[in-house]
Amino acid sequence: MTERTITTAEKVEQIALANDRLGELAVEAATLRSQITQIERGLVDEPQQDHRELVVLYAEMGRVLPDVVEKTFEQVEAFHRSVTENRRVHLADDLAGLRGSLAAMLAEVERTEAGRDRLLGKVDDDQGAVAPES
């Protein structure tokens, strides 16, 4: 069985499709990079638990809502630490997933560009590539 030779028009169409895909990938990569940056900022800029602020808040809650405040300060503090740590773990997991997605996308960009460049070379061969004028 012989392999069918694709026409120059088909090659040009495949090049256009590759360019379209590269445009889509560029937009998706920009979105992923933005998400990665936001998470990195969130992890770096996240204020460390200010013990004094928590003490003041707990005292105020006890004054304003004395019948509602049933937890000890240590329980409130432990809960606050737990929530903060869980958030950090969740963000770190999200960050790892986004970085993996970006790496896969960049690999697809390289493959798509290589395929497009091969097709461009074949089109040039089909057309008898002309050297640019000086």
Q: What mean pLDDT, rounded, does the chain reach?
A: 85
* The predicted structure's pLDDT at residue 130: 47
Contact partners, residue 108, CB within 8 Å, separation at least 6:
25
pTM (global) more than 0.85: no
Cα–Cα distance between 100 and 96 in angstroms, integer?
6
Is pLDDT at 5 greater than 50 in this prediction?
A: yes
Taking residues 16-42, what's their average pLDDT?
96
Average pLDDT, integer, range 89-96: 95
Residue 131 is predicted with a pLDDT of 47
Residue pair 69/62 in contact by the 8 Å Cβ criterion: yes
Rounded to whole angstroms, the Cα distance separating 14 from 115 reads: 9
Q: Which residues contact 116 (CB under 8 A, 6 or more apart)?
A: 14, 15, 18, 19, 22
Confidence check: pLDDT of 3 > 80: no
Please say whether the beta carbons of 28 and 105 come within 8 A.
yes
Decide: residue 12, CB within 10 A, 0-12 exposed, 13-18 middle, 19+ buried: middle
Give 51 or 1, the one with higher predicted confidence.
51
CB count within 10 Å of CB 55 equals 13
Using one digit for the tens of pLDDT, what is the confidence trace for 33-86?
999 999 999 888 766 656 778 788 878 887 887 777 777 777 878 888 898 889
Q: What are phi and psi of 35, to 5 degrees?
A: -65, -40
